[in-house]
Amino acid sequence: MGACNNSSSYFNTIAKNDIPLKKPQKGDWLFNHQERIQTLTDFQNSNPLRPTRQLNKIYLKHIGEFSVLEWEQIKLTREYLEKFFQVKTLLQSVVSSNIIPPHVRRLSQQHEQISAPYLRDTVVAMERPKDAIAILGITEMDLYPDDKWNFVFGLASYDKGLAVSSIYRFHQKPLTSKQFKLSLERLLKTASHEIGHMFGLTHCIEANCLMNGTNSLAETDRSIARLCSKCQQKLNANLKYDNRKRLKALAVFFNQNKLDKEFQQMNADLKITE
């Protein structure tokens, strides 16, 4: 185990489980966005956010009103993110949507949307804990990034340690137990994707990976919770965690929550690195 844990041999080994990206189809993220590969050197030269003795916690800030089942998803997301990044993750108190001013609200397709940059840079940034390396706002309101876009699932800043994501499109209202698992999968992937950006990962264009960009809910559902070998290597270079300890924790979480596809992905990496 030791020889295949925190060395290059671990990443070379799990690379065998990487699945190359298929050619993007019309409507896919990469069909409309030209992005470049982020090498390990690129990543290191970008000077990504890195936890320190003083800044060593991830916080989740809830914005708006949530049902009992939605609260359960947020609590599970906190647990998941702590295992995913191997960084202590805490919940902040709820922030009312009443503080959001009219000029960052708009009507789109008969429902209200909120400016994602405003929510991220103003509301999420409010009352920042002194030990926060990253804060993710989670809202039940729909988001838009600017006037040219219809919506966005989430938006992160690489240098401020601030991000926001929305559960608005993850399930029909009200959330039911029948929708719970699929909606949870979407939230886990979106939340870890946005925090991945905060820790310096750009969109991955080399393999099926959590850090793939997505243009639609269908594309999000096709994406996976696993980081490819190269993105795992970059994240580990930043956060310095034990790779197999992380995999084991994630496998247990997925198994306990009956997320079978995700469990199989983690288990495959565990088995190949034994």
- Residues recognised as catalytic: 194
Query: Do residues 95 and 63 lie in contact, with contact meaning Cβ atoms separated by under 8 Å?
Result: yes
CA distance 126 to 129: 9
Determine the Cα–Cα distance for residues 79 and 149; give it in Å rounded to an integer: 32
> From CA 153, how far away is CA 273, in angstroms rounded?
34
Alpha-carbon separation of residue 126 from 79, 166, 253 (angstroms): 23, 18, 31
Q: What is the C-alpha to C-alpha distance for residues 158 and 195, in angstroms, rounded to an integer? A: 9
Q: How far is 40 from 44, CA to CA, in rounded Å? A: 6
Q: Are 169 and 209 in contact (CB under 8 A)?
A: no
Q: Which strands, in side-by-side order, build the sheet including 105-108?
A: 105-108, 111-115, 142-144
